[in-house]
């Protein structure tokens, strides 16, 4: 099972920097960076909700499932 995190794609579409998103969702740059690079093992729904609200998108815009 492979979950791909497309956070960088959505940030680019919205022309939002990691610093700006960090301030809007109240997460550290380190935690957002881990999520952005796909190294995160889990994400809280509250975090996903805050990111979706800040980027004006749906969870499916950020997370993608691929069958390896």
Q: What is the mean pLDDT of residues 61-68?
A: 92
Phi-psi region of 65 (alpha: psi -120 to 50; beta: other; left: phi over 0): beta
| pLDDT of the residue at 33 | 94
Q: pTM value?
A: 0.90
**Domain limits of the chain?**
2-66
| pLDDT of the residue at 1 | 55
To which H or E segment does residue 60 belong? helix 59-62
| pLDDT of the residue at 68 | 76
pLDDT higher than 60, residue 6: yes
At which residue do the structure tokens 């680019």 appear? 12
pLDDT in tens, 9-58: 999 999 999 999 999 999 999 999 999 998 999 999 999 999 999 999 99
CB of 5 closer than 8 Å to CB of 63? yes
CATH class of the region 2-66: mainly alpha
């Amino acid at each position: 099972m492979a979950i791909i995190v497309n956070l960088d794609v959505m940030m680019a579409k919205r022309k939002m920097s990691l610093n700006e998103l960090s301030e809007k969702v109240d997460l550290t740059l380190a935690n957002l960076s881990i999520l952005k690079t796909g190294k995160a093992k889990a994400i809280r729904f509250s975090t996903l909700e805050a990111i979706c609200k800040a980027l004006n998108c749906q969870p499916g815009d950020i997370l993608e499932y691929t069958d390896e």
